[in-house]
Structure 1
């Protein structure tokens, strides 16, 4: 019995060591291959040959979605992670709405964008100055999280052209076993643009690529992501003359719906 237990522990350690190596391989391929090709070659060609900004952004978002899909196929093939989507048909039908999700892992955006070819995303304004990522963000016309006078017209234009905006209202990755705390940005955008909200719950166990965790800090067991496309919240239920109160109520309800069960 002791020998079997020792062998089992050894196999788990070997598998963990392999996943550390595979994670390095997967992320290197993604960084050097995907970002290099998209940023230096493909997106520059788009800027030269596609002059219509909206059309260029749609093509760029489709390209990002395909690259993420390929990346996830590689990391799944290498045994780094496993993932499963539930209720994906509901998400495919959504247009001119907000997609609001919790944020347990660094891979959340990659997972969701891989199944949403048309996906605008709210990003930190500071990322626009990033040498590698800034060009991709601008070409895809992602929405910087800046002052409302600049952000809201951008959101409204995106929603009017059948776009949908992905937002992680926590603002940063959540910490396991701690209550999530949402900012009111998502609620304010939904109310002011009068856009319905699609809820997505992301679970990952064991935790992987969480806040302040290094990429090589790989858990003993392979992480499994379970992504569930939930209900759609009609914004008409929250519209009132007091937008501040409505935003507070909506944020409270979103916190309940996005909290781990």
Structure 2
């Protein structure tokens, strides 16, 4: 029996070394690819495409297909695996806010790879970042500024059939701790009179969390499960009694806290 146990342990060590190397390769490729796209392709789009909405559409499509290729590569080199459930529902969500929990650094990549359009709210400081400011401008992303500026921008995007992706936690979830949602997503939904599409992301092992570096890989290959759930209307919460927008947003945030708790799906339950 001893030789068998030794072989199994040796195989596990080799597999882990491979996944560390493959993870490093994927992230290096992601950084280099992002820099090349920002420097050449997105800059070219801004110069040649004068229609702003057309430029935004082409930029976001480029990001989507780049992310599709990236997550396929990670699966191909066995860094991780993933399963998507109900993503076809996103085709019905023009003018909608998409909210999701946030367990990993890859959540935006997974979601943006399957959303027909993905308008994001980004940190104001990123507009001063040389490497990403061009992408932000070309993609039409919104800077997280004062509400007097942010809300009209969100309403304009939603009225133009955009889809705003928001992680209500504001940062990645701390493993083992309950989610704590901020009210930003609910406030935007209530004040812009928008529907919300719920998405949950479950990963069977902690990976690329806020506390873990890219090289702190789990012992086993992680499996991500992205589930597109029901759509809810902000009107249903604003219309209860004479609730003010602030009270309606607070009520809606409580509902989101309950509905965004991810649950693993068995493989044989996949649809």
TM-score relative to the length of structure 2: 0.93
Q: CA deviation at 1:185?
A: 0.2
The runs of at least 4 aligned residues of structure 1 exceeding 6 Å deviation read none
Contact 1:13–1:220 (CA under 8 A) maintained in structure 2: no
Pairwise CA RMSD: 1.1
Q: CA deviation at 1:36?
A: 2.4
Matches within 5 A, 1:125-140: 125-140=124-139
Shift of 1:57: 1.0
- Provide structure 1 residue ranges, at least 5 long, that are not aligned to the other structure: none
In structure 2, distance between residues paired with 1:151 and 1:108: 23
Q: Is structure 2 residue 174 aligned with structure 1 residue 172?
A: no
Give me the whole-angstrom Cα distance separating, in 1, the residues matched to 2:24 and 2:66: 18
Q: Is the 8 A contact 1:104 1:175 kept in 2?
A: yes
Query: Which residue of structure 1 lines up, in the alignment, with residue 35 of structure 2?
Result: 36
TM-score, scaled to structure 1: 0.97
**Contact 2:43-2:134 at 8 Å conserved across structures:** no
Q: 1-side partners of 2:8 and 2:174: how far apart?
A: 30
Match status 1:144 vs 2:146: no
- Take 2:2 and 2:165, find their aligned partners in 1: how far apart are those partners? 50
1:130-150 residue CA offsets vs partner (Å, 9 max, x unmatched): 121121111101111111111
Match of 1:246 among 242, 245, 248: 248
Aligned to 2:6: 6
Q: 2-side partners of 1:14 and 1:92: how far apart?
A: 42
| CA distance in 2: counterparts of 1:30 and 1:135, whole angstroms | 17
Q: Secondary structure at the match of 2:3?
A: helix
Aligned residues: 260
Residues of 2 paired with 1:10 and 1:127: CA distance? 44
- In the alignment, the residues of structure 1 paired with residue 2 and residue 204 of structure 2 have an alpha-carbon distance, to the nearest angstrom, of 28
